[in-house]
Amino acid sequence: MTDGTNLKTLVLLCPDLETLGQGLDLQELEQWLQETMPPVLVQGVPDLVLRSGELARAVAASGAARLVLGLSCGQYSTAEVQVEARKAGLDPLGLEVINLGAYAALVDPRSLATEKAKILLAAAVARARAYQGSQAQNVKPCLPTRLGRRSLFNLSLLEYRPVPSIRVECCAAAYGCEQCVRVCPRGALGGINSRISLKKSLCESCGLCLTACPQEAVEFPGYAPTQLAAQITTLLDPDVGTLQPRAILFTCRRGARALEGLARRGKIYPVDWLPVQMPCLGMVSPAWILACLSLGARAVGLVSCPGHCPFGQDEIIEGRVTFCRELLRRLDGSYQTVSLLRLADLREPKSIQAQAPSTRTRQHKAFVPRTCSFPSIDPQSAAEVFLHLAQVDGATAEVSLTHPNSPFGVVEVTDGCTACGMCAVACSTGALALEREDGNIALTFDASLCMACAQCLPTCPEASSQVLQLQRITDLQRLSQGRVVLYQDQDRRCDACGAPIASAQMLRRMATLLGDESSIASLITRYCPECRQLFG
């Protein structure tokens, strides 16, 4: 792992950007980037994705460790750009490519287009620097999605896509976790002998497994949460560029292509919406949406796929947006700041401007921009975002929302719990825990760690009596409470050696099952397993 904040970065810009439409002020861009994001080297290279070897030569001469391309059109071939990056000794999955042509051609005045280009390039530099590298197992060679002029004559050119790998030392599959397996829409992940494995041929790089894993055991180069955090915090940093206010526009790969298609037809969405492309919008969690608002975004939009999501995420995406809107409505009424946008909305920019109230009209009492950090995937960092939003006049708002897309759950136990601890063993996030102290045994629960995965429910031996119950609920008070005791009992000790045996309730239950007067019941309720061998 490297802290990439000081990695020398080469930014190559297409000189056409200067003359397309109103154009971008490339000289100002270069000077600003060098001052704002050092160490960065900015160069204009004509035909940089067309002339073989041009890009590799520029990288070699610069000695840069990261590369950002600002192109004038989106019609480049990823395979060709990746080949050039590899020639220069760079990891093709760490490349950042932005199509700035639409802003140069369609945003008026030139100074505004240049401002937007500055922020997007700075965020791309930050994202490139946060890239942690890939291994051979993370790379899948595929036929190119788009053929450029050169790849038309060289069909051996392949495009490299990221695929996930699992860090075995972090994975909780041995405790029954299969979250990644459950969300994979192509059945590419499977668990064998408590180890998760990937069938590369089935993986379509949607990234859904990455954000489903509470242990952060999934590596998916190019879309690591640290990269997204670097990109979004830079996009929303008021010290980076002067464009204000700003809104975040999450798109998927297909959505981004559709937006490029709109731009070719002369339609562009409002300049203050800053695009963030994900492999699939199903990766975008409520915590990420709300963190953008906490970091100062005026609004957050998710551009729905043209047609249906190829990974079947339509309902989940819509549900998460609805959840965020309802939570914001209950918090401070600012629900309009989050929306699911259709391409038709983006064809008519006025409609999305209307959906996103300006910072002046929005009630700000719950929002303190720039004191929240962008969360990772684990439930606790997500909970911190919610708690940040929930701070009103120094206290946590009393808001509780039961919703099928709530990212948090609340577990309760009813009469009949024996503190056997099976649920705590199955809980991969540590939300449930069995604690022994001062002669007591307690089943405890921390709502800020519970992601409502329901993995604990079937492990409860009392499942038929529904002793363990889970609600999909985001309760801000509960999130702030820390660990609470769900059930507590006397921790019975072995009569012979004093080792803990089980809770008094568990031993009463066993005695009843075995017959209260039987010698086996007496043996089991008085001695630990080792001492039973001696006395039995």
Q: Which residues bind ligand SF4 (CB under 6 A)?
A: 166, 171-173, 177-180, 196, 212-213, 215, 217-218, 409, 411, 426-429, 431-432, 450-456, 470
Distance of CA 26 to the CA centre of its chain: 33
Report helix, strand or coil for 146: coil
- Note if the bond before 162 is cis, omega within 30 degrees: no
Structure tokens at 475: 């309760």
**Minimum distance from residue 231 beta carbon to ligand SF4 (Å):** 23
**With respect to ligand SF4, which residue has the nearer C-beta, 213 or 268?**
213
* Residue 338, Cβ density class (10 Å: 0-12 exposed, 13-18 middle, ≥19 buried): buried
Nearest to 138 by CA among 34, 221, 15, 261: 221
- Note if the bond before 39 is cis, omega within 30 degrees: yes
**With respect to ligand SF4, which residue has the nearer C-beta, 152 or 463?**
463
Q: Give me the long-range contacts of 517-526 (CB less than 8 A, separation at least 24).
A: 525/492, 525/501, 526/494, 526/495
CA pair distance 51, 357, nearest whole angstrom:
46
**With respect to ligand SF4, which residue has the nearer C-beta, 200 or 508?**
200
Q: Which residues contact 408 (CB under 8 A, 6 or more apart)?
A: 379, 382, 383, 386, 447, 448, 450, 451, 452, 472, 473, 474, 475, 479
**Minimum distance from residue 178 beta carbon to ligand SF4 (Å):** 5
**Minimum distance from residue 127 beta carbon to ligand SF4 (Å):** 24
**With respect to ligand SF4, which residue has the nearer C-beta, 165 or 525?**
165
Q: Are 189 and 182 in contact (CB under 8 A)?
A: no
CA pair distance 158, 86, nearest whole angstrom:
12
CA pair distance 519, 496, nearest whole angstrom:
16
**With respect to ligand SF4, which residue has the nearer C-beta, 169 or 393?**
169
β-bridge partners, 277: 251
**With respect to ligand SF4, which residue has the nearer C-beta, 284 or 431?**
431
Q: Which residues contact 421 (CB under 8 A, 6 or more apart)?
A: 434, 443
**With respect to ligand SF4, which residue has the nearer C-beta, 169 or 415?**
169
**With respect to ligand SF4, which residue has the nearer C-beta, 81 or 209?**
209
Question: What value, to the nearest 5°, has the Cα angle with vertex 237 and ends 231 and 240?
Answer: 95
**With respect to ligand SF4, which residue has the nearer C-beta, 299 or 431?**
431
Report helix, strand or coil for 300: strand
CA pair distance 7, 151, nearest whole angstrom:
31
- In single-letter form, the type of residue at position 495 comes to D
CA pair distance 349, 396, nearest whole angstrom:
37
HSE of 311 in the Cβ direction (CA atoms, 13 Å)?
28
Q: Which contiguous run of DSSP H or E holds residue 436?
A: strand 432-437
**Minimum distance from residue 301 beta carbon to ligand SF4 (Å):** 29
**Minimum distance from residue 56 beta carbon to ligand SF4 (Å):** 36
**With respect to ligand SF4, which residue has the nearer C-beta, 72 or 215?**
215
- In single-letter form, the type of residue at position 407 comes to P
**Minimum distance from residue 165 beta carbon to ligand SF4 (Å):** 10
HSE of 215 in the Cβ direction (CA atoms, 13 Å)?
20
Q: Are 264 and 362 in contact (CB under 8 A)?
A: no
**Minimum distance from residue 489 beta carbon to ligand SF4 (Å):** 19
**Minimum distance from residue 391 beta carbon to ligand SF4 (Å):** 24
**Minimum distance from residue 140 beta carbon to ligand SF4 (Å):** 18
**With respect to ligand SF4, which residue has the nearer C-beta, 5 or 469?**
469
**With respect to ligand SF4, which residue has the nearer C-beta, 61 or 170?**
170
**Minimum distance from residue 103 beta carbon to ligand SF4 (Å):** 39
* DSSP 8-state code for residue 16: G
**Minimum distance from residue 149 beta carbon to ligand SF4 (Å):** 41
Residue recorded with tokens 């996030």: 429
**With respect to ligand SF4, which residue has the nearer C-beta, 1 or 192?**
192
**Minimum distance from residue 192 beta carbon to ligand SF4 (Å):** 12
**Minimum distance from residue 179 beta carbon to ligand SF4 (Å):** 4
Nearest to 263 by CA among 371, 77, 101, 460: 101
End-to-end CA distance of the chain: 55
